[in-house]
Amino acid sequence: MCVITALTAQNTLGVSAVQAIDGEFVLAQLNAISADVQIDAIKIGMLANEEIIRAVNGWLDTVDAPVVLDPVMVATSGDRLLEDEAVLDSLLDRASVITPNLLELASLLREPAAADWPQVLDQARRLAAKHDALVLAKGGHLAGDLCPDALVSAQGVLAEFSNQRHHTKNTHGTGCTLSSALATIYASGGDWASALEQAKAYLFRAIGAADELNVGRGHGPVNHFAHFFSEADPMDQWWQQIHELRGSIDNLEFIAQLADGTLDPADFEYYLAQDALYLQRYAQVLAEASALAPDLDAQRFWAGSAREILEGELQLHRSYLAEGTANPSAITLNYVNHLAASKRSYAELIAAILPCYWLYQDIGKRLASANHPEHPYKQWLVTYASEEFDLATERAINMVRVAWKQADVDLRERMRLAFVRSSEHEVAFFDQARRNRVEFSTA
C-alpha cells in the first residue's frame, strides 16, 4: 500500500521541482489504509517537510508495525528532497531500522562524512544508540570493489553482508529499493539479518540488470523485474512451442492403437525395426555429445545415456525383432541426418537430442494408464513410463537449459530450431508405419 508524500518532477538527470502534499491529505491517505488493511511492516522514504513528518508521526501512534525509515535527504543527482533534516529527529526514535547512506548518516549525527568502512560502522553504532534503533550502515558510496552493508545496534555489528560492485551508473533508487525490500521481507520472515541478506541479493540482481533498461542519459533506474524476466524458464517456452506437434502425436492412429493394444503387430514391428536403426545412430550421437561436453558431469551423463541405449532400449527392440533385417526408411534417415547436422556445437546437438527424451517421457506417462498384464506392448509402455526414464529426461532437460543460459542470441535460436525440428521428426517417425514405406539400402 502506498501513500504519496510529495510529487517530484524528476528524470535520470535530476529533480527539477517538488510539490509536497498537504500534511492533512497525507494523514487522510494513511488513515484510509490503516482503517482497512492489515499492516505488517512500514517503510518510510521521502517526507519533504516538517508538516508531513508531523502527520506521519501522529499516525504512527495509531498503528503497531515495524518501521524501516530511509532518511531520504538528497537524491543521487544531488538535489535536496527534505527541507530541513533536523526535523527528522523526532521520527527516528520511532524506527525499528534506520537506513541512511554514508552522507545521510553523517548528517544525522551532524558530523563530517566517514572516510572508510570502520568509520561508517562507528557512526552507525552511535546513531543506533542515540535513537534506540538498528541502523543499516551502507557502504555503497565508498570507493572500492566491494559494497558492504551491516546491521548495527548500539552494541555493535549484528550482521554484515558484502557483494561485488557492479560497474554501472544506473543506480537510481538503490537505497529506496533496499529499504523497501528489507521491510517487505522482514514482514514475512521476522528476522532482520536474514531479511537484509535476501534484500541485498535482490538488489544486487536488480543493479546487475539495470543497464538492460537503458532509460535516460543520467543515472537510470535499477531493474526491479530482472528476477521475473530471467526466471522465465526457456525450456517451458520450448515445450509450449511444440504444443501443436504434441497434439498431433496424440492424434496419430498409430499411437491410439499402441495404447489400446489393437495395433497390427506388423506395424509395430516395422516401427521397432526403424527405431532400432535410429537408436544405434542416436547412441553414437549421444557419445558425440559426451565428447563435446564442457564438463565432467555432462560428459558422464551423455556417455551413460549412450550406454543405456545400447544395453537397454536396443535390447528391448531386439527382443521383439529378428536382428539386422531392416533397411532405414527415408524418414529414419532424415531424422538421423538432422541429428548429425546439429553437431556444429555441443549446445545445438543436445537441443536436437532432447525431444527423443522429452516426447517419449510425455507419451510414456500418458499411455501408462492403458497398460495391463495382457497388453501386447506392455514392455514398451513400461520402459518409457519408468522412474529412471523420468530422471534421465529431467537431467537432459537441465543440461540443455544450462547450455542455453550460456549461449548467445544466435546460438539460442539455432538450439531452439534444432529442438523443434527434432520434434517434427518424432511425429513423422511415429507415423511412418502408415506411410509410403520408402526404404534405403544404406545406413
Residues recognised as catalytic: 138, 171, 173-176
Report if residue 141 touches ligand ADP, rule: CB under 6 A: yes
Task: Please report whether residue 173 would count as binding ligand MP5 according to CB under 6 A.
Answer: yes
What is the SS3 assignment for 161?
Answer: strand
Q: Indicate the residue among 169 and 435 with the shorter CB distance to ligand ADP.
A: 169
Q: Does 420 bind ligand MP5 (CB under 6 A)?
A: no
CB of 303 to ligand ADP, least distance (A): 41
Residue pair 51/20 in contact by the 8 Å Cβ criterion: yes
Shortest distance (Å) from residue 197 CB to ligand ADP? 11
Q: Binding pattern to ligand MP5, positions 41-60, x when CB under 6 A?
A: ----xx--------------
224 binds ligand MP5 (CB under 6 A): no
If one asks whether residue 166 binds ligand ADP (CB under 6 A), the answer comes out as yes
- When binding is defined by CB under 6 A, the residue of 43, 172, 224, 414 that contacts ligand MP5 is 172
Q: Which is nearer to ligand ADP, 197 or 390 (CB)?
A: 197
Beta-ladder partners of 8: 18
Least separation in angstroms between CB 102 and ligand MP5:
12
Integer CA distances (angstroms), 204 to 108, 174, 298, 324, in order: 26, 9, 30, 60
Residue 71 near ligand MP5 by CB under 6 A: no
Can residue 393 be called a binding residue for ligand ADP (CB under 6 A)? no
Q: Which of the stretches 120-128, 198-206, 293-301, 387-395 binds ligand ADP when contact is defined by CB under 6 A?
A: 198-206
Q: Taking CB under 6 A as the rule, does residue 288 contact ligand ADP?
A: no
**Residue carrying the nine cell digits 555489528:** 157
How many residues bind ligand MP5 (CB under 6 A)? The answer is 13
Give the torsion sign (CA, 371, 373, 379, 383): positive
Tell me if 164 sits within 8 A of 128, measured CB to CB.
Answer: no
Residue 401 three-state SS: helix
Distance separating alpha carbons of residues 281 and 306, to the nearest angstrom = 10
Residue selected from 3, 98, 203, 397 as contacting ligand ADP according to rule CB under 6 A: 203
349 binds, among ligand ADP, ligand MP5, none (CB under 5 to 8 A by kind): none
Between 71 and 364, name the residue whose CB sits nearer to ligand ADP: 71
CA atoms lying within 13 Å on the CB side of residue 152: 29
46 or 309, CB closer to ligand MP5? Answer: 46
Beta bridge pairs of residue 203:
none
Report in angstroms how near the CB of residue 168 gets to ligand MP5 at its nearest. 13
Phi-psi region of 75 (alpha: psi -120 to 50; beta: other; left: phi over 0): beta
Whichever of 172 and 343 has its CB closer to ligand MP5, that residue is 172
Does position 220 interact with ligand MP5 (CB under 6 A)? The reply is: no
Q: State the binding partner of 172 from ligand MP5, ligand ADP, none, CB within 5 to 8 A by kind.
A: ligand MP5
Q: Which residues pair with 172 in a beta bridge?
A: 221
Site track 84-123 with ligand ADP (rule: CB under 6 A), x = hit: -----------------x----------------------
| Nearer residue to ligand MP5 within complex by CB, 80 or 318 | 80
261 lies in the binding site for ligand ADP (CB under 6 A): no
Closest by Cα among 391, 399, 252, 377 to 317: 377
Grid coordinates representing 429 are 517417425
Alpha helices in 145-264 (DSSP H): 174-189, 192-208, 226-231, 234-241, 243-250, 253-260
Nearer to ligand MP5, 20 or 292 (CB): 20
The reply to whether 12 sits near ligand MP5 by the rule CB under 6 A is no
With cell 532509460, the residue in question is 215
Cβ–Cβ < 8 Å for 380, 316: yes
Residue number with CB closer to ligand MP5 (43 or 317): 43
Integer Cα distance of 63 and 309 in angstroms? 66
Among 119, 123, 174, 361, indicate the residue that binds ligand ADP (CB under 6 A). 174
Q: How far apart are CA 63 and CA 51, in angstroms?
A: 19
138 lines the binding site for ligand ADP (CB under 6 A): yes
For cell 544486487, what's the residue? 204
- Give which of 197, 184, 240, 216 is closest to 13, Cα–Cα: 216
Residue 388 neighbours by CB distance under 10 Å: 10
List all residues 6 or more positions away from 6 whose beta carbon is below 8 Å from its beta carbon: 18, 19, 20, 21, 46, 47, 48, 52, 81
What distance in Å separates the CA atoms of residue 338 and residue 359, rounded to the nearest whole number?
A: 17
Q: Count Cβ atoms below 10 Å from residue 304 Cβ, excluding itself.
A: 14
Q: Which of 107, 171, 198, 290 binds ligand ADP (CB under 6 A)?
A: 171
Binding site for ligand ADP (CB under 6 A): 101, 138-141, 147, 149, 163, 165-166, 168, 171, 174-175, 178, 200, 203-204, 207
Residues that bind ligand MP5 (CB under 6 A): 8, 10, 45-46, 72, 75-76, 81, 172-176
